[in-house]
Amino acid sequence: MVRGRLWRLSNPALDPAERERLVQQLMTARRAVRMAKGDPDALRAARSSVDAAKRALGERGLPWWTDGAPDYNRRLVGNTPYADWYETVSAKDAG
C-alpha cells in the first residue's frame, strides 16, 4: 500500500533468479526514464520497458493468482473490501 492505494506484489511463484533478473531489468528501465527527460521517443521507449518488466514480475496485467479474487491494484483502499482492515492497521501505527 502506498499513500492509501493498494499495489500488487510481484508473483511469489517466480523463480528467485528470474525475479532478480526482472528487478534488475526494471531498475535499468527506471533509470532510462530518468535519463530520457526531454526526449519524447526515448521516454516512450523507457516507459514501455518499465511496463514490460512490471508485467513480467506480475505487478501489472492479468492477475497471477488463480483463486478468482478480484484485482484491486491501484485502487484507493477505502473503496475496497480492505477498508476496515486498513483502518485497524492505521490505528495501530498511529498509536
- The predicted model scores a pTM of 0.79
CB 13 within 8 A of CB 21: no
Instruction: Return the CA Rg of the chain.
Output: 16
Which segments of 1-95 does DSSP mark as H helices, in order?
16-35, 40-57, 83-94
Three cell numbers at 25? 531489468
Please state, in angstroms and rounded to a whole number, the distance separating the CA atoms of residues 14 and 65: 12
- The pLDDT-based confidence of 5 (bands split at 50, 70, 90) is confident
| pLDDT for position 87 | 84
pLDDT 10s digits, 67-78: 998 999 889 999
pLDDT 10s digits, 17-43: 999 999 999 999 999 999 998 999 999
